[in-house]
């Protein structure tokens, strides 16, 4: 089974701050990590490989320093790593990013399943995974919490919903985005770390993956960021106390007066 | 301080610290309280390739040495000195096979230890044979192709949990220490039983039990080296393993220093952080200095051992003696800095103090270490006087 895992390098979420003047993320001095949701994608990919054989190729689009994230993925059991890096990719929104990644996946060609984390901890859009499947014209299941079984070219998966879960069958090749309930990612192994240190990370630019230049980077991105801000903290609720009928009356009055 | 570690040693340090922080520290209090054996952590160590870091590559390890083992033990002990012992005591049980095993024995046992599927243990101590290892009573009587073992070993770390034991028994009682031999005994061998599980002051996440041998038949192919070599096997094993105990002590002490400085920084009395008082500052400074000196001594001793040097007993003893005494002092001072909070089980430092004590006692009490060091000094003196 050939598995492709897409990951993103993000600033460590516990340390994210926003510059109030420019409305951009302060990245200086902030440690970069693999997007936490993507660590579940890596683990699931490696588990599938361990169960069914084959290999795991990990792909990321980002600046040259994203190589660190790819090496870490290798230390966790991935076999090959590809970094999509090109100044022309800068400013990509989720549409351009998923297009670029899908072009890389087309170039890798032989694959059964693409696995992504459900969303990135910095952008929180959850759009890149579904975007890739759209560009590749393959089926997708998002928020997968369990791969129940794989029979030949059909996978049976559980998709996490707000209340309960759906069971879906999906044919290969396909794309899955996974939630943290799916597994517990392992720690790296010493041999994995040694392998990661020596590994060759392939670097592909826009030409290597035959991108339509108008579809990538800022120009290829229909999204315009107008403003980034920290939302105000939610105010605490009010608790009404007293006899139930009387409290109900007060609640109804409150809803009438202040909510509606 | 930069100890000029190799790339691989840096990776071991980083990985062991990650295991200590993410996997061991959160469960340390649980194992201290429950006295259960930390199998889930052993599994993590196996999966992360830590179990084979001091075992040669040809036997499934990654080919490091005593320094690699010390670095890992130190970091894991930062998480919990008791839990880390499952790992470190396996090292103690493995050294006899690495140092004195024949090719067949090494091929059979080392790969299983290296991949973490089996733990090892070393069984020397008996009720009446502690520091005086020459007076052990467990006997091994030759009977055709077998030896028949009878006797009781006590306070054996990893007993009952480990699969592979190096056992010292007397093949010739008349010869005293020179009549001792070392055997590899596998768990499950008929006549080998585990009895009393000890309740301890510290390192409570570690298993300490008695092993009782009753007409236990061990095939002669499990004899390590030759008959009569048991005492030498034990002593050489300790020469190699003592930096590991020292590293355990340094790991515990580092944790105590980290906890104490962090607490002192946040603790306010008389309207200011207690780190603004010279009394606390001097304690912190002494703790940090002694700790670094202990670490430097261990790494130097370990490097010397790894270089293949022969006369290692003295430096090995020095590293264990110094690091464990420093550990006891630092953990005691950490409790002092925490004040009343330090005495409470809700805070982590009283456990560190309890865990520290054993490092002054096992693998040779610190009085025995001083004896080893002194005897080498005297030996060197008499050599010199002979030449003069």
Point out the domain boundary residue: B228, B259, B284: B228
The total of structural domains in chain B comes to 3
- pLDDT tens digits for B295-305? 999 999 999 99
| A192 → chain B, closest CA residue | B48
| A97–chain B nearest CA distance, Å | 32
Are residues B42 and B160 both part of a single domain? no
Domain containing residue B66: CATH number: 1.10.540.10
pLDDT, residue A14, reads: 67
CB contact under 8 A, B49 and A197: no
Closest-approach residue (CA) in chain B for A188: B48
- Count of beta carbons in the 10 Å neighbourhood of residue A80: 18
**Predicted structure pTM score:** 0.88
* Catalytic residue numbers of B, as ranges: 363
Contact B174, B131 (CB under 8 A): no
Average of per-residue pLDDT across B88-100? 97
Q: How close B118 comes to chain A (CA, Å)?
A: 18
B388 domain residue, yes or no:
no
- The Cα B348–Cα B373 span in angstroms is 34
Q: Is the pLDDT of residue A22 over 70?
A: no
Report chain B residues whose CB lies below 8 A from the CB of A190: 11-12, 15, 48-50, 53, 62
- Decide if B48 and A197 are in contact by the 8 Å CB cutoff: no
- Domain assignment present for residue B102? The answer is yes
How would DSSP label each residue in B150-212? EEEEEEEETTTT-SEEEEEEES-GGGGGGGEEEEEEETT-TTEEEEEEPP-SS-TTS-EEEEE
Query: Per-residue pLDDT for A193 more than 70?
Result: yes
Out of B22, B44, B49, the one facing A190 most closely (by C-beta) is B49
**B18 and B90 housed in the same domain:** yes
Cβ A193–B11 below 8 Å, yes or no? yes
Determine the average pLDDT of the residues in B134-158. 96
d(CA A254, CA B117): 65
Q: Taking CB atoms and an 8 Å limit, are B8 and A194 in contact across chains?
A: yes
Same domain flag for B215 and B236: no
Does domain A2-223 fall under CATH 3.30.70.1340? My reply is: no
Instruction: Judge whether B224 lies within some domain.
Output: yes
Secondary structure letter of residue A76 according to DSSP: T
Q: How many CB atoms lie within 10 A of CB B34?
A: 12
Give B85's pLDDT tier (boundaries 50, 70, 90): very high
pLDDT at A176 over 80: yes
- Which tokens sit at B219? 């095939």
Residue of A nearest to B18 (CA): A187
- Interface predicted TM-score (ipTM): 0.86
B241 and B321 housed in the same domain: yes
pLDDT confidence tier of residue A13, bands split at 50, 70 and 90: low
Q: Tens digits of per-residue pLDDT, B323-334?
A: 999 999 999 999
> What per-residue confidence (pLDDT) applies to B45?
97
Of A128-142, A237-251, B335-349, which range is least confident? A237-251
- Could you state, in order of their start, the residue ranges of all structural domains in chain A? 2-223
Greatest pairwise CA separation for chain B in angstroms:
79
DSSP, residue by residue, B34-86: H----HHHHHHHHHTTGGGTTS-GGGTS----HHHHHHHHHHHHHH-TTTHHH
Number of CB atoms found within 10 A of residue A111's CB = 21
pLDDT in tens, A25-44: 676 778 899 999 999 999 99
pLDDT value of position B314: 97
Range of the domain at B305: 231-381
B90 and B223 inside one domain: no
| pLDDT value of residue A59 | 98
Contact B47 A194 (CB under 8 A): no
Q: What are the pLDDT digits (tens) for B190-238?
A: 999 999 889 999 999 999 999 999 999 999 999 999 999 999 999 999 9
Question: Where does the pLDDT of residue A160 fall: very low under 50, low under 70, confident under 90, or very high at 90 and above?
Answer: very high
Distance from CA of B12 to the nearest CA of A (A): 7
Q: Which of B7, B8, B15 sits opposite A188 (nearest CB)?
A: B15
Beta strand pairing status for B180-186 and B208-219? unpaired
Contact A194 B53 (CB under 8 A): no
Share of chain A above pLDDT 90, in %: 74
- How many CB atoms are closer than 10 A to CB A253? 10
pLDDT at residue A190 in the model: 95
- Our CA-based measurement puts residue A192 at a distance from the nearest CA of chain B, in whole angstroms, of 8
Q: Answer with the one of B82, B97, B118 that is the final residue of a domain.
A: B118
Cβ contacts of A194 on chain B, cutoff 8 Å: 8, 11, 62
> Which residue of A184, A187, A195, A198 to mutate against B (max B Cβ within 10 Å)?
A187
Q: Which of residues 183-222 of A touch B (CB under 8 A)?
A: 186-194, 197
Q: What is the mean pLDDT of chain B?
A: 96
Substitution target in B5, B11, B16, B41 with the highest count of A β-carbons within 10 Å is: B11
**What tokens were used for A8?**
């993103």
Both B168 and B260 in a single domain?
no
What is the distance between the alpha carbons of residues B388 and B382, in angstroms, rounded to a whole number?
Answer: 10
Return the pLDDT at A23.
65
Please indicate if any CB of chain B lies within 8 Å of the CB of A180: no
Tokens at B301, concatenated:
């001793």
Same domain, B254 and B306: yes
| Mutation site for A-interface testing, chosen from B10, B16, B49 by largest number of A Cβ within 10 Å | B49
What span, in angstroms and rounded, lies between the C-alpha atoms of B293 and A153? 61
- Which CATH number characterizes residue B189's domain? 2.40.110.10
Same domain, B152 and B111: no
Per the domain annotation, does B251 fall within a domain? yes
> Which of the listed residues B228, B256, B271 is the one where a domain comes to its end?
B228
The answer to whether residues B93 and B170 belong to one domain is no
CATH code, domain carrying B357: 1.20.140.10
Q: How far is A109 from chain B (nearest CA, A)?
A: 32
Share of chain B above pLDDT 90, in %: 95
Does residue A24 register a pLDDT over 70?
no
Rounded alpha-carbon distances, angstroms, from residue A57 to A49, A82, A108, A110, B337? 11, 8, 9, 11, 52
Rounded to 5 degrees, φ, ψ at B315 are: -65, -35
Contact A190 B12 (CB under 8 A): yes
A75, closest residue in chain B (CA to CA) = B48
Q: Cβ separation of A187 and B48 shorter than 8 Å?
A: yes
Whether the pLDDT of residue A18 is over 80: the answer is no
Among the listed ranges A13-17, A95-99, B190-194, which one has the minimum average pLDDT value? A13-17
- Tell me if B386 is assigned to some domain: no
Do B159 and B183 share a structural domain? Answer: yes
Within this chain, do residues B101 and B125 fall inside the same structural domain, yes or no? no
Q: What is the pLDDT of residue B92?
A: 97
Min CA distance, A48 vs chain B (Å)? 17
Question: What is d(CA A253, CA B199) in angstroms, rounded to the nearest whole number?
Answer: 65
Cα–Cα dist B195/B208, whole Å: 10
Query: Rounded mean pLDDT of A59-69?
Result: 95
CB of A7 within 8 A of CB of A38? yes
- The answer to whether residue B120 scores a pLDDT higher than 70 is yes
């Amino acid at each position: 089974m050939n598995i492709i895992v897409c990951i993103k390098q993000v600033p460590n979420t516990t340390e994210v701050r926003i510059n109030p003047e420019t409305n951009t993320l302060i990245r200086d001095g902030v440690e970069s990590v693999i997007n936490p949701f993507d660590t579940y994608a890596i683990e699931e990919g490696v588990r599938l490989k361990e169960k069914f054989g084959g290999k795991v190729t990990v792909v990321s689009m980002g600046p040259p320093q994203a190589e660190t994230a790819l090496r870490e993925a290798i230390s966790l059991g991935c076999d090959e790593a590809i970094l999509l890096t090109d100044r022309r990719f800068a400013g990509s929104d989720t549409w351009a990013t998923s297009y670029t990644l899908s072009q890389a996946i087309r170039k890798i060609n032989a694959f059964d399943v693409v696995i992504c984390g459900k969303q990135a901890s910095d952008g929180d859009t959850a759009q890149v995974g579904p975007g890739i499947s759209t560009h590749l014209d393959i089926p997708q299941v998002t928020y997968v919490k369990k791969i129940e079984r794989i029979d030949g070219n059909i996978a049976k998966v559980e998709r996490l919903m707000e209340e309960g879960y759906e069971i879906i069958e999906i044919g290969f090749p396909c794309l899955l985005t996974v939630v943290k309930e799916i597994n517990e990612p392992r720690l790296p192994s010493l041999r994995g770390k040694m392998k990661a240190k020596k590994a060759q990370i392939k670097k592909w630019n826009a030409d290597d993956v035959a991108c339509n230049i108008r579809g990538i980077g800022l120009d290829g991105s229909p999204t315009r960021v107008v403003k980034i801000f920290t939302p105000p903290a939610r105010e605490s609720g009010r608790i009404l106390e007293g006899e139930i009928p009387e409290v109900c009356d007060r609640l109804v009055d409150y809803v009438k007066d202040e909510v509606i | 301080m930069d100890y000029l570690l190799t790339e691989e040693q840096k990776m071991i340090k980083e990985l062991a610290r990650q295991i200590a922080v993410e996997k061991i520290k959160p469960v340390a209090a649980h194992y201290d309280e429950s006295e259960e054996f930390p199998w889930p952590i052993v599994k993590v160590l196996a999966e992360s390739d830590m179990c084979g870091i001091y075992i040669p590559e040809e036997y499934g390890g990654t080919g490091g040495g005593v320094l690699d083992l010390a670095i890992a033990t130190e970091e894991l002990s930062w998480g919990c000195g008791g839990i880390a012992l499952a790992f470190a005591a396996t090292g103690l049980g493995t050294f006899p096979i690495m140092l004195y095993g024949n090719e067949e024995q090494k091929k059979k046992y080392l790969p299983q230890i290296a991949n973490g599927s089996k733990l090892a243990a070393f069984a020397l101590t008996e009720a009446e044979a502690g520091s005086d290892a020459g007076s052990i009573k467990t006997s091994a009587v030759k009977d055709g192709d077998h030896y028949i073992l009878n006797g009781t070993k006590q306070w054996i770390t990893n007993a009952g949990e480990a699969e592979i034991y190096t056992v010292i028994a007397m093949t010739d009682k008349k010869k005293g220490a020179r009549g001792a031999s070392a055997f590899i005994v596998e768990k499950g061998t008929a006549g080998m039983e585990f009895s009393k599980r000890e309740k301890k002051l510290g390192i409570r996440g570690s298993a300490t039990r008695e092993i009782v041998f009753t007409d236990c038949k061990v095939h002669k192919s499990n004899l390590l080296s030759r008959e009569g070599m048991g005492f030498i096997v034990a002593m050489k094993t300790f020469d190699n393993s003592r930096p590991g105990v020292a590293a355990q002590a340094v790991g515990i002490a580092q944790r105590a220093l980290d906890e104490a400085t962090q607490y002192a920084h946040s603790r306010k009395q008389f309207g200011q952080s207690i780190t603004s008082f010279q009394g606390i500052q001097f304690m912190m400074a002494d703790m940090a200095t002694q700790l670094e000196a202990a670490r430097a001594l261990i790494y130097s001793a370990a490097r010397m051992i790894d270089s293949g040097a022969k006369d290692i007993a003295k430096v090995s003893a020095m590293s264990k003696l110094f690091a464990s005494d420093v550990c006891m002092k630092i953990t005691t001072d950490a409790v002092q800095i925490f004040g009343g909070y330090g005495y409470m089980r809700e805070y982590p430092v009283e456990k560190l103090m309890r865990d520290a004590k054993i490092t002054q006692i096992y693998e040779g009490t610190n009085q025995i270490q001083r004896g080893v060091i002194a005897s080498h000094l005297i030996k060197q003196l008499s050599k010199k006087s002979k030449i003069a």
